[in-house]
Structure 1
Amino acid sequence: MAKRKSMQDDACPVARSLDLVGDRWSMLIVRDAFDGISRFSDFQRNLGVAKNILSDRLSALVEQGVLTVQPASDGTSYQQYVLTPKGESLFPVVVALRQWGERHLFAGGEPHSLLVEKASGKAVAPMLPHDHAGHVLQPAHTQVKKITVK
């Protein structure tokens, strides 16, 4: 299988982001890390991904500073993968993908998981972009501005 072209030098932030977390395994690893999974064997068991693919994705996420490797918190000789602040900043992305999937990919009444606030038990409010005045933005209200270096 041909290796995909790197987009690390692309001028588009979406392209660069997808270069790192755009394949399903990387994003599912990040999702699982938010759910408290931190050991290689637990990621492997939960995702059902081949060990070589998991190793490759974990290495890339560590190399790019999304995850860090630490000694296991239980004092064993294992190591664990923990989200860095950079990785934690992916939380709104994971929530937005989850909510989009809930809204568009399940039939009415079909069972699925739901992200809820721990304190209230209520579903997390929909992620929506807002302008500086607090109004919800629609795609027609935005444009991409190219930033050039002088």
Structure 2
Amino acid sequence: MTEQCTLLPDNPCPIGRAVDIVGDRWSLLILRHANIGVTRFDQFRAELGISDNILSNRLAKLVEAGVLVKVPYRDDRRTRHEYRLTSAGADLTPVFEDLARWGQAHTLSGERCRPAMKILHSTCGEELAEGHYCAHCGRTVERAEISWYRPWRSRTPFALAEPVD
């Protein structure tokens, strides 16, 4: 028995359905940050410089689509929510890595080009090839062993956030 598509069933194209969910700038940037462990509304707003209404709208859309999940937590005054990647959200990681590689190869060149983002094997520190293969260790590594190094943001690589389900 085949599973029925309940989200966006009128769009027969899988690329079109995916773009309907993550195809705007803010959704992609929210998910990029969720991949490196940003979870709270205020953190997303501060990192992205996004207005509250747009952020709230995009987070709700990503939760509805099943790529993020709202998880309650309690601060000093009240219950709030964090937004964490689901396994469906984590499955978008290769898309971000491919976008990073494409952006490095085809945007900004010469003196204006910033140092490249690198996808690293956290265990040995070596850069991973596409498909998360570590030539140094001779194996494909799991998500828990992957870090993104963005030298314009930090001297320290960011470990990828683990999905919740």
Following superposition, the deviation at residue 113 of structure 1 comes to 5.0
Query: 5+ unaligned residues in a row in structure 1: which ranges?
Result: 1-6, 128-150
After superposition, residues 127-138 of structure 1 pair within 5 angstroms as: none
CA distance in 1, matches of 2:71, 2:17: 27
For the pair shown, the structure with the greater C-alpha radius of gyration is 1
* Higher RCO structure (Cα 8 Å, ≥6 apart): 2
Q: Are residues 1:116 and 2:119 paired?
A: yes
Could you report, residue by residue, the CA deviation over 1:96-118 in whole angstroms, capped at 9, with x for unpaired residues? 11111111113145224513312
The total of aligned residue pairs comes to: 119
After superposition, residues 1-150 of structure 1 pair within 5 angstroms as: 8=8, 9-72=10-73, 76=75, 77-108=79-110, 110-117=113-120, 118-126=122-130
CA distance in 2, matches of 1:80, 1:121: 30
SS at match of 1:79: strand
Contact conserved, 1:99 with 1:126, CA < 8 A, in 2? no
Query: 5+ unaligned residues in a row in structure 2: which ranges?
Result: 1-6, 132-165
Question: Relative to structure 1, is the Cα distance of residues 121 and 108 closer, same or farther in structure 2, using a 3 angstrom cutoff?
Answer: farther
TM score, norm. by length of structure 2: 0.66
SS at match of 2:82: strand
Task: Report % sequence identity.
Answer: 40
CA RMSD of aligned residues (A): 1.9
CA distance in 2, matches of 1:64, 1:25: 15
Contact conserved, 1:69 with 1:79, CA < 8 A, in 2? yes
CA distance in 1, matches of 2:86, 2:96: 15
CA distance in 2, matches of 1:44, 1:13: 30
CA distance in 2, matches of 1:122, 1:106: 25
Could you report, residue by residue, the CA deviation over 1:84-131 in whole angstroms, capped at 9, with x for unpaired residues? 11111111111111111111113145224513312233333246xxxx
SS at match of 1:82: strand
- Quick check: which one's strand share is greater? 2
